[in-house]
Amino acid sequence: MSASPTRVSQNRSFGGDQQVFRHDSTVLGCAMNVGIYLPPAAASGPCPVVYWLSGLTCNEQNFITKAAAQEHAARLGLILVAPDTSPRGEGVPDDDAYDLGCGAGFYLNATREPWARHYRMYDYVVDELPALVEAHFPADKERRSILGHSMGGHGALVIALRNPGRYRAVSAFAPITAPSQVPWGQKAFRAYLGEDQAAWAEYDATALLPSAKERLPILVDQGDKDQFLERELKPERFQRACEEAGHPLTLRMQPGYDHSYYTIATFIGDHLTHHATALRATPRL
């Protein structure tokens, strides 16, 4: 298990506390920052936890400063956890391009050098980070959910699909839904995983849907003015896969909205309400 986290910052927000912690990650082999919002209800006992996964070039700061999520989390009694998007620091491999290396972990476990030692964001998000949160914060160990944006939307969908029973809800903003079929995903998968298409499919939400063992309803918001819509995101392919698999999907095409945090801030309340409703429901057997 990782060492106890050290608080980096703390700011009062809507009666709760927006904090940033730093901890040494065993899985990633480096120190990691994590944003954690504790709602007022956390002072009285454990609260359900919503994990947020950010997109390319982001770190823990983007969501906690731009998404306008704290007011909704305070009202709904949700702990929000927003980790960095990749390992960072001395000795961690990087690349000059924005879409590979630091800031571009793609929420997978790399198998190729020089990435394999540090780039294990899948294991970090699924195992190490929840263990840390549940050991050191008033988190309800039985009630967790996950959402994300762009690369983080890809991560949220993949992680939920691969881990039935772990999350009560999943949603995404402008997710990379079929990374094996688009330039962002192909570049990252080739670098981190090599040419094995079966390995790529393990981190591709569209490819995972036919064999999914759980049917968590998925909420996706996608702006129709998103500059990456046609080239990188391909929501229509994911929608078709959901229809063929009988997987519940609400895909909302939002007129005039783009890929930015302005879109996220506009609809984050809907998403957190989606999560809060599921987190309060009796788990399905």
Compute the average pLDDT of residues 56-65.
Answer: 98
Note the pLDDT tens digit of each residue in 168-188.
999 999 999 999 999 999 999
Note the pLDDT tens digit of each residue in 191-235.
999 999 999 999 999 999 999 999 999 999 999 999 999 999 999
Q: Are 159 and 204 in contact (CB under 8 A)?
A: no
Distance CA 12, CA 192 (A): 39
pTM of the model: 0.96
pLDDT band at residue 282 using 50, 70 and 90 as cut-offs: low
pLDDT band at residue 4 using 50, 70 and 90 as cut-offs: confident
CA-CA-CA-CA torsion sign (99, 101, 104, 110): positive
pLDDT at residue 3 tops 80: no
Q: Which residue has the higher pLDDT, 109 or 280?
A: 109
CA-CA-CA-CA torsion sign (130, 131, 135, 139): positive
Compute the average pLDDT of residues 82-95.
Answer: 97
Compute the average pLDDT of residues 10-27.
Answer: 98
pLDDT at 285: 39
Catalytic residues: 150, 226, 259
Domains located in the chain, CATH noted: 6-280 (3.40.50.1820)
Compute the average pLDDT of residues 255-272.
Answer: 98
Compute the average pLDDT of residues 58-68.
Answer: 98
